[in-house]
Chain A
Amino acid sequence: MKRVYVNEPACIGCRLCEVHCQFAHSSSKDLVKAFKKAAPPLPRLRVEVKKPVSFSVRCQHCDEPACVYACLTGALTKDEKTGVVSVDTEKCMGCWTCILVCPYAAITRDGDKISKCDLCTGKPLPSCVANCPNEALVYAETRES
């Protein structure tokens, strides 16, 4: 499956990926409205800046997803066809067990549910990748072992 990888030397820590992640998951199609007139959703990725290093991190939709195996309710699943790991927020009870086991720390609490990257399912490119000004994010097909 295709995943988002980090091309760290190219990342300038501008956080545009974060902004566009929030925008892509907000109900407004207008950037200003999404951020100024409403509370934007939490970003589903995290930008780490410890100069000179910077990169953004999101769910890697693992082949052996620890979060899915640890999920107490069955809310987290890995799609058999697309490989995307997604959460059913109706089923999530906010037990945070997935947070304890994710090696990327890619899951955040959002009220009493969790929030995580959905790879912008349905779009040709995840918004973070599409809007990175410096090709610091790579959306690439990797062949699984």
Chain B
Amino acid sequence: MAKTARTKYLIIGNSAGGVGAAEAIRAVDKAGTVTIVSDEPYPAYSRPLISEHLAEGCSLERMLFRPADFCERHGIKTLLGQKVASLSLDEHIARVETGQEIGWEKLLLATGGKPIVPRMEGLESKGVFTFTTLADAKAIAQAITPSSRAVVIGGGLIGVSVTEALVKRGVGVTIVEMKDRILNTILDEEASALAAEALSEHGVEIITGHTVSKVNSRPAKGGSVSSVTLENGRKLPCNLVVVAIGVVPRLDLVAGSDVRTNRGVIVDRHMATSCRDVYACGDVAEAYDFIAGENRVTPVWPNAYLGGRVAGFNMAGAPAEYQGGTAMNSLKYFGLAIVSAGVTNPPDGSYEVVSNIYGSSCRKIWVKDGFIRGMLYSGEIEPAGIVFSLMRDMVNVDSFKERLVAADLGLSSLPEALWRSRLSLPPSVPVTTIPVEEPEEVLVGE
């Protein structure tokens, strides 16, 4: 029988959520053993940067999410390139593919998502990829030739991100999006059109309202990709296919266990699962969404980090609550600057849209019952955080909502009590020193 190693905290997944948890644990427990296992062979890297790696060979060193000595400095043990094959939740044991067993006191599932790959003829052909890991980016980079032409299936954030990287590498790209517009889950119609225009200007062909039904290769079975066939019979010649339809929570480790799942692992406001001593965060989890008012999968980096942080504190015995996250995105591809959060495609007519378009900027909020439920700022995005914080903190904005989309939006657009509480010296805090010094000497001309 394999020898069982022991650790106080076991974290499965070495990314946003896992690192967030490890940092929180170390903030309160400097001594308890922390072990992170990841089936990726690299130290924690910024996943969104894989497009930068594909585009311009951004080095692993530059992609690292934390300094290279992070784990050493914090006394964190890592098992990289090793997959946890199964869990015994009752016995508090994880079995690694190598045969090693790890006994744990507190477990965090930070296993993230896995790419959705639909059943489709020809997917085994050479030249078909997904795009969620550094290994994917490396594989695509290797497959690119000067005459490459790519079809990207899916016009969401990941599809647009791989498209930009391919375009930067000189590869012609066609995006095939099933719905009637790209980025349809994170942008409203107008902003989608703006994004589509920016892509087109960079030579990207966008086909909406259609799906790929078949990947063709030469030779027919197991050869290299030669084209894809759409559901209407149209053929698009290409030698690269990237499947970028989205990700789903990676639930395999808890399938059939006592851990309650829906679309993702269901967690409470402490990021605890239905199973004692087992926590979850990030893309694998279904955590509180303050806009939906219920648990939802919101697969974005900041929510993974924050959820991990809350999980870590609780695992280490320092109670912490997850304020909740929501869908939030920031788009910088193809020279765009668009940020959005919450509901940008209202399900019914009960949302009031307050908007303002000026110059090449657009500011929009969706208000319901006096509260901001969604926001989208493009162009001059700088003041967007003011609005995001009002939305997250559930501030009733009915009396000043018009000001939140004005071109001169600032903290002074808020009611006085709000900006005063943010900017003034808090009256209750003791002031120890206010050094008054002579202004610095300044040279004025020569």
Q: Whose C-beta in chain A lies nearest to the C-beta of B440?
A: A130
**Contact of A69 with B412 in the complex, beta carbons under 8 Å:** no
Task: Give residues 44-68 of A contacting B (CB, 8 Å).
Answer: 46, 48-50, 53-55, 57, 60, 66
Residues of B within 8 A of A112 (CB): 332
Q: Which of A5, A94, A102, A141 contacts B332 (CB 8 A)?
A: A94
Does B207 touch A at the CB level, under 8 Å? no
**Contact of A8 with B420 in the complex, beta carbons under 8 Å:** yes
**Contact of B410 with A105 in the complex, beta carbons under 8 Å:** yes
**Contact of A70 with B425 in the complex, beta carbons under 8 Å:** no
Does B381 touch A at the CB level, under 8 Å? yes
What is the minimal beta-carbon distance from A144 to any residue of chain B, in angstroms?
A: 9
Stretch at the interface among B120-128, B136-144, B261-269, B430-438: B430-438
What is the minimal beta-carbon distance from B280 to any residue of chain A, in angstroms?
A: 18
Q: Which of B328, B410, B429, B435 contacts A57 (CB 8 A)?
A: B410
Contacts A73-B65, A124-B437, A127-B440; is A104 near B385 (CB within 8 Å)? yes
Complex Cα spacing A140 to B434, Å: 5
**Contact of B423 with A55 in the complex, beta carbons under 8 Å:** yes
Residues of B within 8 A of A74 (CB): 46, 64-66
Does B446 touch A at the CB level, under 8 Å? yes
**Contact of B411 with A48 in the complex, beta carbons under 8 Å:** yes
What is the minimal beta-carbon distance from A105 to any residue of chain B, in angstroms?
A: 4
**Contact of B431 with A50 in the complex, beta carbons under 8 Å:** no
**Contact of A103 with B433 in the complex, beta carbons under 8 Å:** no
Q: Which of A31, A55, A99, A125 contacts B385 (CB 8 A)?
A: A99
Stretch at the interface among B245-253, B283-291, B300-308: B300-308
**Contact of B330 with A99 in the complex, beta carbons under 8 Å:** yes
**Contact of A48 with B412 in the complex, beta carbons under 8 Å:** yes
Q: Which of B52, B339, B386, B422 contacts A96 (CB 8 A)?
A: B339
Residues of B within 8 A of A90 (CB): 62
Does B228 touch A at the CB level, under 8 Å? no
What is the minimal beta-carbon distance from A100 to any residue of chain B, in angstroms?
A: 4
Q: Whose C-beta in chain A lies nearest to the C-beta of B375?
A: A100
Residues of B within 8 A of A131 (CB): 439-440
Q: Which of B49, B63, B306, B424 contacts A69 (CB 8 A)?
A: B306
**Contact of B49 with A72 in the complex, beta carbons under 8 Å:** yes
Complex Cα spacing A104 to B383, Å: 8
Residues of A within 8 A of B359 (CB): none
Residues 14-44 of B, flagged 1 when their CB comes within 8 A of A and 0 if not, give 0000001000000000000000000000000
**Contact of A141 with B305 in the complex, beta carbons under 8 Å:** no
Does B337 touch A at the CB level, under 8 Å? yes
Residues 5-27 of A, flagged 1 when their CB comes within 8 A of B and 0 if not, give 11110000000000000010000
Does B90 touch A at the CB level, under 8 Å? no
Residues of A within 8 A of B425 (CB): 5, 7, 138, 140, 142
Q: Whose C-beta in chain B lies nearest to the C-beta of A132?
A: B439
Residues 296-334 of B, flagged 1 when their CB comes within 8 A of A and 0 if not, give 000001100110010000000000000000001010100
Q: Which of A91, A95, A139 contacts B48 (CB 8 A)?
A: A95
Residues of A within 8 A of B386 (CB): 103-105
Contacts A101-B385, A107-B382; is A57 near B445 (CB within 8 Å)? no
**Contact of B443 with A30 in the complex, beta carbons under 8 Å:** yes
Residues 36-50 of A, flagged 1 when their CB comes within 8 A of B and 0 if not, give 000000000010111
**Contact of A72 with B384 in the complex, beta carbons under 8 Å:** no
Does A97 touch B at the CB level, under 8 Å? yes
Complex Cα spacing A104 to B65, Å: 25
Does B190 touch A at the CB level, under 8 Å? no
Residues of B within 8 A of A66 (CB): 385, 389
Q: Whose C-beta in chain B lies nearest to the C-beta of A73?
A: B46
Q: Whose C-beta in chain A lies nearest to the C-beta of B331?
A: A96
Task: Give residues 392-442 of B contacting A (CB, 8 Å).
Answer: 408, 410-413, 416, 419-420, 422-426, 429-437, 439-440, 442
Contacts A99-B330, A100-B341; is A31 near B444 (CB within 8 Å)? yes
**Contact of A93 with B410 in the complex, beta carbons under 8 Å:** no
**Contact of B430 with A143 in the complex, beta carbons under 8 Å:** yes
Residues of B within 8 A of A135 (CB): 436
Complex Cα spacing A105 to B305, Å: 21
Does B129 touch A at the CB level, under 8 Å? no
Residues 64-93 of B, flagged 1 when their CB comes within 8 A of A and 0 if not, give 111000000000000000000000000000
Q: Which of B385, B408, B430, B435 contacts A102 (CB 8 A)?
A: B385
Known: A73-B48, A140-B434, A142-B425. 8 other contacts (CB 8 A): A7-B425, A8-B420, A8-B423, A49-B412, A69-B306, A104-B385, A141-B433, A143-B430
A-B contact pairs, 5 of them (CB 8 A): A50-B412, A50-B413, A70-B306, A100-B385, A109-B381
Nearest 4 Cβ contacts at the A-B interface:
A103-B389, A70-B302, A102-B385, A5-B425
